[in-house]
Structure 1
Amino acid sequence: MTAVALDQYLMSVLKADKTGSNEVKLEAGNKNFDLFTIYLENYDTAVHHYRMDVSTIIYVVRGSVTIKSGEKILNLRAGSVLLLTENSKYTVLNQSKDSLITKFKFQPGFEYRKFFKDFAYRGTKEEAVVNKIAHSLSQEHVLWMKNSLLTRPSQIMRHIIDGYLNEELFTRALIGAELTVMLIVSIRNQRMVSSTSLDKTKFEKKALDNYIDNNFEDISLSKTAKYFGFNPNYFSNMVKQKTGKSFVDHVDDRRMQEAKILLAQPDISLKEIISRVGYSSKSFFYKKFNDYYHITPAAMREELFRNAGIHLK
């Protein structure tokens, strides 16, 4: 199922629900699937309060959502993954109108600590990371993986949802393996941009890419340079020298990629897309988009809809 088709299906499930409950259950294609059950967060203007009786993963398929866990306010956008432990409490404060929020509720007895231990190599670095994650979950009951729609973990999560909905052979084994890969890649990415593990004596392009990926909506050269521990002018020259492109070019690349993803979603206006990707001026966004893709946003949207078989009246 394509990304657009999956989004449309999930939205149709929400629209068809007549129960008015905060969560809408997605039926697994294989009735014997026993790893987790997926639910959709229903959309309304009310505040939703939860106390989890099982370990849960929240994945933002589309849009954005603000969640309060303990004293933390978490602004999750599309692609984000949130791990919640058994007995954790959280509140859904608000969602964007186009949001699609999925919840993977594991069977009773599932423990992240054991799951992490199962895929951790018996090396000091890997064990240290696993122990740190397990300790954080035990103390705070929540772990935020700041992925985006373009990152591999997000693509894997979509594939997991698709596999859950379909009746195929070895679904349980495949989804278990994909979940492992998603968590490992997410953990690697988070470590790359961690202020405690980053070596600030050298430039790491992957770290820069990940930082931009997580902050492109509201980013500046000065804030980015400060994060990596450099003077802004020195950092700007270093990025240009090492990559052949300026810092602004790297940010614009990421914003243009996000704009194309959002243009493929029919219920998001161009005005909202411009704001989401971090531009304040419509004319400036149109110029950047045309320079990058050599086509207008409206023409690109028509082409994306046509390729996806979407026909709007």
Structure 2
Amino acid sequence: MNEYKHLTEMIPEMEPDEIFYKRIFLEYPAAHLDQAHTVEEIEKLCPEASSHAAAGFTYHPGNALDETILPSDEDTIIFRHNRYAPAFLHSHTFFEMIYVLRGTCENIFTSHTISMRSGDICIVAPSIIHALSAFSDDCVIYNFLIKSQTFEAVFLNSLPKYGTLHDFFSRALYSPGSQFYLYFKSGKDPQLVNLFKKILKEYQTQKRYTSSMINALLEIFFICLLRNHEKNMIVPNPAGKKQEKNIIFILKYIELHYATLTLPELSAFFNYSERQLTRILKNYTGKTFSTLIQDIRLSRAAELLKQPTLPVTTVMEEIGYSNITHFYKIFEKRFHMTPAEYRSSISPDSSLL
């Protein structure tokens, strides 16, 4: 019986490892294996569980997991998370996506815990310390371990490169020391479940071009995830302060109206004071409102300059600048060349201003 056909219809039978972990959990209640511990702490609290985990885990428990543990010929590995496995704290240099198909689990970070339920998806960035606690018979949870280069190709490349969201995710997901993840409440979205079944089937059958097929399906999966559940996405504040539930809406609004938008207009639309909004943008993006607007405009200008017949003056006007001297000055500061030189560098035969 192929498991992918029954992901949401039935609870898988307990595997030998899961039976072992459940027995250890019940026999050693004082060890609290459902709570987050370092590998060293688990070794002291319950040596039997630690030694078994080291032999039976898809990847060995460790404080810091490197991308080299993933097969060199695979961009992504997928496995069902062992129920009752000790919740060991760890970080990794790759991306991890946790998909809860049934039941519940706790995703434990150093500063807080998120309780994940059926349909929830969490994408954990590299370097973040966390532990997964899944201690019930009825939970069905899958882990995707995705190489960083692959994640960038299938997730970040699906976003407009001149947009605020692309810059926001890039900074948050790759900034050293940032405690960042994306948490979606997808509510058992049938479209996502169906895509996941296709991904898992492809992974299990390992046909020709399987890696390329999985990457293509993952890109569709992420696009549908953002399209259908962007409004339900929870993003922690990178500054470690109060979470702002409207941050994605704010960034998207800036992205849509960058050519004419002012800070007073943005503040009024979201009912914040200008001081509040400035602080929120600084916390989440590391930039001021004016810097965000300028970066979007210049990135968009670079995209438009790829069109060889579009005059530079038209490009300037479309992105919201009316002073040509000012536009040339900030463009040269950003790209270290004039707009005409930039156009020639990407299309040598184009000289139209």
Q: TM-score, normalised by structure 2?
A: 0.46
Distance (whole Å) between structure 2 residues aligned to residue 193 and residue 46 of structure 1:
30
How far off its partner does 1:34 sit?
A: 0.9
String of CA shifts for 1:111-167, please: whole Å, max 9, x gaps: 644543422235x5xx22222233343432311122132342233123211210113
Q: Aligned-pair distance for 1:90?
A: 0.5
RMSD, matched Cα: 3.7
1:66·1:95 contact (CA, 8 Å) conserved in 2? no
**2:197 paired with 1:158:** yes
1:132 aligns with 2:171: no
Whichever residue aligns with residue 175 of structure 1, its letter is I
2:224 aligned with 1:185:
yes
Gaps of 5+ in 1: 200-228, 230-313
Cα distance, 1:102 vs. partner? 1.7
Asked whether the 8 Å contact 1:153–1:185 carries over to 2, the reply is yes
Tell me if structure 2 keeps the 8 A contact 1:85–1:141.
yes
Deviations 1:94-121 (A, max 9, x none): 43321122211224x5364454342223
Aligned equivalent of 2:183? 144
- Output one character per residue of 1:215-252: Cα deviation in whole Å (capped at 9) or x when no partner: xxxxxxxxxxxxxx9xxxxxxxxxxxxxxxxxxxxxxx
Once residues 156 and 85 of structure 1 are traced to their aligned partners in structure 2, the CA distance between those partners, rounded to angstroms, is: 22
Bigger RCO (CA 8 Å, 6+ sep): 1
Instruction: Summarize the alignment of residues 1-313 of structure 1 with structure 2, pairs less than 5 Å apart.
Output: 1=2, 3-6=4-7, 11=12, 14-15=15-16, 20-21=52-53, 24-25=57-58, 34-44=74-84, 46-107=86-147, 109-110=148-149, 112-113=151-152, 115-122=154-161, 127-137=163-173, 138=175, 139-193=178-232, 196=246
Separation in structure 1 between the aligned mates of residue 73 and residue 150 of structure 2, nearest angstrom: 18
8 Å Cα contact 2:121/2:186 also seen in 1: yes
1:181-223 Cα offsets, whole Å, 9 max, x none, are 1111112233334652669xxxxxxxxxxxxxxxxxxxxxxxx
Supply the AA of the counterpart residue of 1:11.
Answer: P
Partner of 2:258: none
1:285 equivalent in structure 2: none
What count of residue pairs does the alignment treat as equivalent?
Answer: 193
The separation in 2 between residues aligned to 1:10 and 1:165, in whole angstroms, is: 19
The CA distance in 1 between the partners of 2:204 and 2:7, in whole Å, is 10
Q: Which amino acid aligns with 1:81?
A: I
Question: Percent identity between the aligned chains?
Answer: 15
Q: CA deviation at 1:16?
A: 6.1
CA distance in 1, matches of 2:9, 2:205: 16
The verdict on how the C-alpha distance between 1:52 and 1:163 changes in structure 2, with shifts beyond 3 A counting, is same
Q: Residue type matched to 1:142 in 2?
A: Y
Look up the match of 1:209.
none
Amino acid at match of 1:133: F
Structure 2 CA distance for partners of 1:37 and 1:152, relative to 1, 3 Å: same
- Seen in structure 2, the aligned counterparts of structure 1 residues 45 and 54 have a Cα distance that, compared at 3 Å, is closer
Higher mean displacement: 63-72 or 137-146: 137-146
Question: Which residue identity lines up with residue 180 of structure 2 in the other structure?
Answer: H
Contact in 2 for aligned 1:81/1:146 (Cα 8 Å): yes
The offset of 1:89, in angstroms, is: 1.0
Counterparts of 1:42 and 1:61 in 2: how far apart (Å)? 14
Q: Could you give the per-residue CA deviations for residues 237-290 of structure 1, whole angstroms, max 9, x where no partner exists? A: xxxxxxxxxxxxxxxxxxxxxxxxxxxxxxxxxxxxxxxxxxxxxxxxxxxxxx
Distance 2:132 2:58 in 1: 17
What SS does the aligned partner of 1:129 have?
Answer: helix
8 Å contact kept, 2:84–2:133: no
| Inter-CA distance 12–115: structure 2 relative to 1 (3 Å threshold) | same
Q: Which runs of 5+ in 2 are unaligned?
A: 21-50, 60-70, 234-244, 251-270, 272-353
CA distance in 1, matches of 2:100, 2:158: 25
1:112/1:165 CA distance change after superposition, 3 Å: closer
| Alpha-carbon distance between aligned partners in 1 of 2:8 and 2:52, rounded to the nearest angstrom | 20
